[in-house]
Amino acid sequence: MTRCIWVLVFLLITGTASSQVLKTPTQTSPIDYSQPKQYRIGGITVSGANFLDPNALVSVTGLKVGDEITVPGEDLSRAIQKLWDQGILGDVEVYITKIEGNQIFLDFNLKERPRLSRFTFSGINKTQQDALREKINLIRGKVVTDAVLNSTRNVIRNYYLEKSYLNVKTTITQKPDSLLPNSVVLNIAIDKGDKVKIAEIDFVGNEAFKEAKLAKQMKKTKEKRIYKFFTSSKYQKNEYEADKEKLIAFYNKEGYRDATIVSDSVYKISEDRLGIQIKLDEGQRYYYRNITWNGNYLYDDAYLSRVLGISKGDVYNKEELDKRLNYNPTGIDVSALYQNDGYLFFNIDPVEVNVDGDSIDIEMRMTEGPQATINKVTVSGNTKTSDHVILREVRTLPGQKYSRDDLIRSRNELAALGYFDPETIGLNPIPNPAEGTVDINYSVVERPNDQISLSGGWGGPIGAVGTVGLTLNNFSTRKITKLSEWRPIPSGDGQRLSLNVQANGKYYQSYSLSFTEPWLGGRNPNSLTVSIFKTVRRDPNSDVDSRLNVDGGSVSLGRRLNWPDNYFHMSHSLSYNRYNLNNFRLFGEFDNGTSNSISFVNTISRVSIDQPTFPRRGSSISLSLNLTPPYSLFTEQRNNYEFVEFNKWMFDASYFINLAGNLVLNTRAHFGFLGKYSSETSIGPFERFRLGGAGLGGGNIFVGTEYIGLRGYDDESVVNNDDLTLQSAGGIAYNKFVLEARQLISPNPAATIYGLAFLEAGNNFGSYDRYNPFKLYRSVGVGARIFMAAFGLLGFDYGWRLDDVPGQPDMKRGQFHFIIGQQLR
């Protein structure tokens, strides 16, 4: 049979068949399109596909040999559409190659879309190119479709919209790659245009509040003003939408619960400036009228109303009402009243029962439920720290009544350990109402907390000083004999081992070793700390062997108290320091001999801060008394320093207030006094105070000396003393006050960062005749703190002193300070 060619062409444009062409056959009768006829498929071939699998393409059509189809009909149209939907073809044609009886033979003639060889950018710098390469999904070998090109344009546009380039234009051109068949090189030309700023924000319909007050509520959408150096005026649609919600939330907090944004528009002022108009309907202001209670049996209405703290006539504030009912971080709330007494299943639902004019009546519908008993307490997420170390810190014990305060307190105790990311400690009560019990799971995320320090610095007269330190904050002596636990050291039992070495050749050497067991015996939180040290100091300017050897050690016992409350802690420490001088001028005429210092330190403290890295609320107060035996009261020798005597009083207080979000105000006060037992003796050079600078100490290192920072002043520069022989020894009384605002920048546990601004004042006195707590040297400044688990706390400050120190006319007015480690004072 002479070959008959029937051609059915489906030209597909933008995803749909645009035309259907029938070529008249040269032999036999043509197909009559007015009378569709059924055929059985006798064969299917694919032509034009050089890189795609023909069998896979035939499978995509949904047709197979033996199927019955109607020609003309929808069967072939659906097959073509399925191929087109794959997005990998530029054109699809179907040819009827022959017809034998009722059998029809088909050929799908395809044109493949090109594949991506590579792509380049033009019109932007390398930094932006690198950023876009990570965002756009262009992979070598990917079929270049319209969807791929449109997606690329959208990603680029969104990237620049976030940077306020609202007029960005992207042109993508395709060029065949001469090295790879059926491949193209894309050139992405970007014209980002000018950065667009917000020139004006106009509010319409506002009567209760001025425009400046309303603009302040929009945290990310700000007008461009010359005097606003640090205020961003970028326009970002998502942030603008969020700010509109904040604006309505502000109205709701002020009692305008019906306030709405009627309309808003963003309009173009110039190529780089736009304006925003927001039309408001404030509605009326509402007030509380009658608040009634329903379902309460444990507490009467009057008591619950006092706890709620909302009175008739107060401005209606739904957000504040929810806070006082369910969770008030700054005080007690109604839910806490019940949940701290075991009523975990307590529920309260405030219902507006009447709205009369501008007055609203609220009915508090309550379900007290039964008390819940704690069943099981578990921990999860700890890969290094042993379970018992965590469980001994929690205050929710099996068999006790459930208490929300105990749950929050347990989280703070776990954060204080320093082993876990404080921002991710999870409190997960799992209630079982049927049995009246609750299981509690604490989830934690371990973070590195061992610290190694390798540093160098200038040590005053002795020159450069190198430091090597290792602190293991979660050590385990129990696992030392188990080789499998050395990964790389035995850890997980909460013990602390610290080794520190400082040296400057033969002129200065210092070694210290300490060990702390926080739970001596394992049952009670009684801590034991043992430490020893040795310091050797030589005078590099002396022609003879001039040396100071200091050896010492201490043993300290601490315990938690339950009175006056369970935030108190008391510790007792016995220490011994031996000073051996050989032609070394320590003080006055004292340059040869031995001094012995035996002292007993008693400290009582109360710490209620929520976490140590970036406290948001709570306080820390401590009072310590360091006493030596009163040798001068029962011996005839005076001031030979064979046995050092003194009494030393120290008081430190720190208070944290969460102002808003991650903005915290910290106020601190510090006092120190060094005294004697007999009026016939003088206060020696030991245990004095040195004020000024970063408070880290320099080359004049004496064991027990208190180094106190005063930013903006030279190190150890502030002391008021009539006796010039005592000027370099330091003071015997000091006081210091600090006001510091802190803003958390990064809560990342690998590097927690916050900025600060401070105002501080202090003074140091060499005699009590000169002591005046109101005579202070003041300074202001800014700084930053970075807490890295491997290195501890790093601090950078710039302080500007406001007062002059007598006798030091050359001191700089502004100074940078660098600190390592947590500075209490």
The region of weakest confidence among 163-167, 436-440, 783-787 is 163-167
- 633-646 average pLDDT score: 78
Report the alpha-carbon distance of residue 173 to residue 119 in Å, rounded: 10
Q: If you average pLDDT over residues 707-716, what whole number do you get?
A: 92
Binned at pLDDT 50, 70 and 90, residue 778 comes out as very high
Of 3.30.360.10, 3.30.1150.10, 3.10.20.310, 3.90.550.10, the CATH number of 373-443 is 3.10.20.310
For 398-426, what is the mean pLDDT?
Answer: 93
> Is the model's pLDDT at 97 over the cut of 50?
yes
Say which CATH architecture domain 197-281 belongs to. Roll (3.10)
pLDDT at 8 > cutoff 50: no
pLDDT at 15: 36
Query: Looking at this protein, which amino acid is placed at residue 113?
Result: R
Which of 154-168, 498-512, 755-769 shows the highest mean pLDDT? Answer: 755-769
**Is residue 23 very low, low, confident or very high in pLDDT (cuts 50, 70, 90)?**
very low
**3-class SS shares of the chain: helix, strand, coil, % to 5:** 15, 45, 40
Predicted pLDDT of residue 361:
97
pLDDT at 650 exceeding the cut of 70: yes
Residue 458: the pLDDT is 53
pLDDT computed for residue 25 by the predictor? 39
| Rounded distance between C-alpha atoms, residue 396 and residue 406, angstroms | 6
Strand partners, 577: 552, 597
For 289-327, write each residue's pLDDT tens digit. 999 999 999 999 999 999 999 999 999 999 999 999 998
Determine phi and psi for 360, rounding to 5 degrees. -125, 130
Mean pLDDT of 666-675: 97
Quick one: fold of 6-112? Answer: Ubiquitin-like (UB roll) (3.10.20)
Whole-number pLDDT of residue 9: 38
Average pLDDT over residues 668-696: 89
- At residue 544, the pLDDT reads 85
Judge whether 758 and 739 are in contact, CB under 8 Å: yes
Given a cut of 70, whether residue 32 has pLDDT beyond it is: no
What is the average pLDDT score of the chain?
A: 86
Long-range contacts of 808-812 (CB under 8 A, 24+ apart): 808/714, 808/717, 811/713, 811/714, 811/717, 812/714
pLDDT at residue 775 tops 80:
yes
Tokens 């969020």 belong to residue: 242
Average pLDDT over residues 373-381: 97
Q: Residue 19: what pLDDT? A: 32
CA–CA distance, 193 with 197 (Å, rounded to integer): 13
The verdict on domain 115-191 having CATH code 1.10.10.10 is: no
Domain spanning 287-367, CATH class: alpha beta
Element (H, E) at 337: helix 334-339
The count of other CB atoms within 10 Å of the CB of residue 722 is: 10
Mean pLDDT of 387-394: 95
Q: Reduce the DSSP state of residue 754 to 3 states and report it.
A: strand
Count the neighbouring beta carbons within 10 Å of the beta carbon of residue 238: 10
pLDDT at 464: 63
Lowest mean pLDDT among 154-163, 472-481, 490-499: 154-163
DSSP state string for 69-121: EEESSHHHHHHHHHHHHTS-EEEEEEEEEEEETTEEEEEEEEEEPPEEEEEEE
The pLDDT tens digits of the residues spanning 247-285 come to 999 999 999 999 999 999 999 999 889 999 999 999 999
Read off the pLDDT of each residue in 794-819 and give the average, rounded to a whole number.
Answer: 90
pLDDT above 50 for 18 = no
Q: Report residue 169 as tokens.
A: 């234009």
What pLDDT, on a 0 to 100 scale, did the predictor assign at position 256? 96
Give the separation between CA 787 and CA 784, rounded to whole angstroms.
10
Residue 331 has a pLDDT of: 77
560's enclosing H/E stretch is: strand 547-560
Q: Give the up-direction half-sphere exposure of residue 694: CA atoms within 13 A in the CB hemisphere.
A: 17
Give me the DSSP letters along 165-233.
-TT-EEEEEEEE-SSSTTEEEEEEEEE--PPPEEEEEEEES--SS-HHHHHHH-SS-----TT-TT---
Is 6-112's fold the same as 373-443's? Answer: yes
| Predicted confidence (pLDDT) at residue 456 exceeds the cutoff of 90 | no
State yes or no: pLDDT of 794 exceeds 70: yes
pLDDT at 152: 92
Instruction: Identify the three-state secondary structure at position 56.
Output: helix
pLDDT tier at 87 (50, 70, 90 boundaries)?
low
Q: Where are the domains of the chain?
A: 6-112, 115-191, 197-281, 287-367, 373-443
CA 646 – CA 678 distance, rounded (Å)? 10
Q: Which of 92-101, 228-237, 337-346 has the lowest mean pLDDT?
A: 228-237
pLDDT of 161 over the 80 cut: yes
Percent of the chain whose pLDDT exceeds 70:
89
Span 103-144, pLDDT tens digits: 888 888 887 788 888 999 999 999 999 999 988 888 888 888
Which of 195-199, 405-409, 574-578, 581-585 is predicted with the least confidence, judged by mean pLDDT? 581-585
Provide the token pair at 335: 């839910």
pTM score over 0.85: no
Residue 10's pLDDT is what? 36
pLDDT over threshold 90, residue 622: yes
